[in-house]
Each structure stands twice: as C-alpha cells, then as structure tokens.
Amino acid sequence: MASISLRRIEKVYGQGTKANQVLHGVDAEIADGEFIVIVGPSGCGKSTLLRMVAGLEEITGGEIAIGPRVVNQLEPAERDIAMVFQNYALYPHMSVYENMAYGLKIAKVPKPEIERRVNKAADILELGDLLQRKPRQLSGGQRQRVAMGRAIVRQPQVFLFDEPLSNLDAKLRAQTRLEIQKLHRELGVTSLFVTHDQVEAMTLAQRMIVMNAGRIEQFGTPEEVYHRPASTFVASFIGSPPMNLISGYVRGHHLQCAGIDLELPTAPPYEGQVQLGVRPEHLEVSSGSGWPLHVEVLEMLGAERLVHGRLGHTAFTLRLDATEPAPAAGTTVHVCVSPAQWHWFDAASGKRLS
C-alpha cells in the first residue's frame, strides 16, 4: 500500500492557439489506505486525472508520487497499480479462473501462488462456484466482480476504479457498492474511484474530491461536502434533490430577489448581493407565515414527497415526509427554515461566505 501525492497537476491537449487545458494545477494528498472518490460532471477532467495516475496519459505539468516515488516517467506496469474499468475487459474465450490468473501468469508468478491468490480473491468476492464459467455465462454484476478479482490478485499498492458501476442496473449498483466497501475494509488498499454519480460518491468515499472544469472545488469528507459546500457548484451538484439557491440583495432582515421580498427571521451577517442556499429537507411548512411557495408539481417517491414550485420567479423544491399532508398543485403554501440551515455564497464568485 502507498500514499498518493498530486502536485500542481496540469494536462493540456494540443499546442498554440489550439491548446485545450483540461486540468489546472490539481493538488491533493491521499493517505495510505484511504478510499477517495473523484466526482464531477462529464468533461470535468476526473477520468483524465485517474488515467494520469495510472500512466495511461502523459502529464503536461506537475508531479504524481505513489509512495516515495515520483512516477511521472514510469510505465503503467512499473507503478504497481491495478485498474478496474467501466467495461469489464474480460477475455471471452477464457474461464473466470483464467481471466483472474492471466496477469500473474504473464508475470511468471509460480503456479501454486497463482492458485492461492485466485482462490482467496474468489472467496472474498463469492466467485468460488463460477471459476470454470466463461464470461458470457455471467451476469453484469458477476463480470464486474471478476474484473475486481483480477485486480485483487495483483496485490497492488493502489486500486484505480474508472466508473466501474456505470453499466449495471440500479439494484446491482447498490449491491456492488456494498461489495466494494467490504473489499476495502478487508484489504485496506489505497483506492481512487471515479464516478459522476453523487450517490456512489457519498456512500463509498472516506473523503471525496469534487471537480469542476479541471479544478478541485472541494476536498473533504462526505459530511463536510454535504453540510458545508464550498461553492454554489458543490451545493447544486451534491444532494438529491439539489440545494435551492436564491439570488438576491440582503438589506437588514430582508432578501430582495426576483419578483419577491423574503423576510428573514434574523439579519444575516452580510449585506449586498448574495446567494442564499437552503436544502429541500430543511424546509418546513408553516401555518400562514413564512415564504410563499407557489406549488407547480408534486413527485411521490415512496417514503417522501417532493414539492416543486416557485418563490417569486425562482424555482424551489421542498421535501416532505410522505405521511404529511400534500399541498395541491396550483396552491400556495408557506415555508420556513431555521437560520442554522442557511448557506450564504458570494454572488460573483459563488464561493461560500464564512
């Protein structure tokens, strides 16, 4: 196992006027044995960063260190990493056992050691009964477990996961997430996991890197990222449904926003142009007082209900327990939120106001 240091990592494709910079000085220190999730929208640079750690992409600027070694100039095979991809990349003509053993065979590992490692990985991943099957005889979840088993037998310093659950249905994704968590607890190998799915990020990460346009927006535990988002981007990306954001002008006990003047129970420590963030689950329906929410659409999600509407001209969402009375579309309800649940952001930069 080993730590990972990312120091001012840059990636530029092309040259001159056609140059396209996709990573802008990424810095991160990942401790030995940590499980880090890199999350962000498509095109933010998360997979490029992972491929640079793996050695599959050249580094334009900065340094990547795995343990004490700077690996910028090392080939992938010399970095002591194992990678699990979105597509399983299994050899269709080989059995599960042969797929898992192939890398060790090429590395000329003794046959008894290969057998020991493959059987141990098969026990961990519950593949013991499937070792003689071909990939075409397996479900998607089983194929992904074989791909993970092939990585485990390598006994690398670092595991790299590139959106490995994207091809699975919702039930299998949830099941495989649990298997990955158990796997990390058992092996304790430093892991980088790339995904665009915030649910995967929140449930798997010990710490998470939220990326946007080639930069790190926030690096922290899921609790820190959720409860104290560093920017409006993080606030709107992490959380389902996302945080409500209201742009307006604060003066005393009032927030003047598009089409409405919202009264605040206490004066915030900021005046001027700001953005106020409120999570849908922190809102409560009040009787006659509070902010007027015009209800447009209701969504029933089993244990909870989402009420979509508008505060003035601003789209706004309220989350209710399904046991609570549901307002009708077209009506107006009043909502309130404790000042302890307010999130204030700078209107120009989108950064959190301390």
Q: Hey, where are the domains in the chain?
A: 4-229, 241-346
Distance CA 101, CA 224 (A): 41
* Torsion over CA: 293, 299, 300, 306 (sign): negative
What is the H or E stretch that residue 151 is in? helix 140-152
4-229 and 241-346, same CATH topology: no
Superfamily of domain 241-346 in CATH is Nucleic acid-binding proteins (2.40.50.140)
Per-residue pLDDT for 259 more than 80?
no
Per-residue pLDDT for 1 more than 80?
no
According to the model, what pLDDT value does residue 326 have? 86
Distance CA 226, CA 199 (A): 12
CB 1 within 8 A of CB 68: no
According to the model, what pLDDT value does residue 263 have? 87
CB 315 within 8 A of CB 294: no
Q: What is the CATH number of domain 4-229?
A: 3.40.50.300
Q: Across residues 52-73, what is the average pLDDT? A: 95
Over the chain, what is the mean pLDDT? 92
pLDDT band for 230, please (50, 70, 90 cuts): very high
pTM given for the model: 0.89
According to the model, what pLDDT value does residue 175 have? 84
According to the model, what pLDDT value does residue 249 have? 92
According to the model, what pLDDT value does residue 257 have? 87
